Amino acid sequence: MDSLTNTTAFVLEFDSKKSTITIGQKILATISSLIPYKQWDVIVAIVSDTVYTLHKEVVDHSLTLIDAIPINYNDTEQNKSYAYAEKYFNQLLEKQCTRNSLVMGIGGGVTTDFAGYVASAYMRGIDVVYVPTTLLAMVDASIGGKVAVNIKAGKNIVGHFHQPNYIIIDVNFLHTLPQSEWRCGMAEVVKHALIGDSSSLEILQNKEIQYGYINNSLYNCINSSVRFKASIVEKDEYEKNIRAILNYGHTVGHAIESLFEYTMSHGEAVAAGMLVESYISLKEGMPKADFDCIRDILSAYNLLPKISFDPRLIINHMMYDKKNIKGKIRFVLLESIGKPRIGCEVNDLLVMEALNFYLKMVSR
């Protein structure tokens, strides 16, 4: 592993609170200097079973430093549910958590999302700190304050906006990240690059990132991607306008996840969604050279899942999307790379054509 750039930190100023993001290598072991842990009466850490198995020593050491109480969490999309959360509300009560307590989420995007939801709802909202351990969670899921759980009808239907007080991004966790999870995170890195993160776009186009290599190119890409998303949500905390660009690829992506009953990873579904929505963008006037660039990047990093589905069912599942207005499906499309448009209505026939294009491409 290369010696990475020094630890960096920056503060986001929201209407609701300040949120500090720290990025570095092997920094979880210094957590007592990164958060003011003595200000909370009880600290409970919801820890991913997967992460605890792989990183037991550093997790135990770090939680001991701040007198935190660990609670294990079986981090699956099926367990990121409204019904499953009640178990954790009861455990917070048993640990005598008050409105002056802290919940930590240590794990991937499912864990940070779930921990955030629990913190947002317990006693009408208590503080939360995230330690994202997957690439997806680092660059996307942990940033922005959206917390939610799933119900049978769809993904992230029940939730709140609840900003974390601190996000601690320790890239050392990526050392044990499976390749499938790596691809999930890369999908969100690509998304940010295509909607405006030009620094990451250049790194991706130069093929500077490879699975298993935690080097300065990856660090710089993570740093740029995190700062890009942070800059967007800082301007629009409650998604009234510009923040909606972050939903590029997600209208189709969430529908695919729902159709497959969350057995497919979020990153894979979003990668498929980006290609479908880029095809729609092409037909709506995006330059073909830009479409070819998007397709080449998604293919080069092996992000497109080889799946089969009935396009009509995908369109049906899109009807549950939160961006819809008066029953009309709304897309984020690209005028060109780096120039997204929000709130776009698209004819169902074009959506069907784009979905069929995807099926044909991945079946080759």
List the catalytic residues. 124, 146, 188, 229, 239, 243, 247, 250, 254, 266
| Token duo for residue 283 | 């037909």
**How far, in Å, are 104, 125, 141, 167, 185 from residue 20 at the CA level?**
14, 18, 15, 6, 21
CA separation for the pair 331, 321 (Å, rounded): 10
Structural contact between residues 245 and 232, judged by C-beta atoms closer than 8 angstroms: yes
CA distances from 351 to 194, 275, 303, 314, 359 (A): 20, 12, 21, 10, 13
Helix (H) or strand (E) holding 208: none
C-alpha 68/C-alpha 62 separation (Å) is 9
Q: In sequence order, what DSSP letters do the residues of 218-286 get, joined into one string?
A: HHHHHHHHHHHHHHHHHH-TT-SSGGGGGGTTHHHHHHHHHHTTT-S-HHHHHHHHHHHHHHHHHHTT-
Residue with tokens 């304050």: 145
Among 150, 69, 159, 54, smallest CA distance to 107 is for 54
Of the candidates 121, 123, 115, the residue with the CA atom closest to the CA atom of residue 96: 123
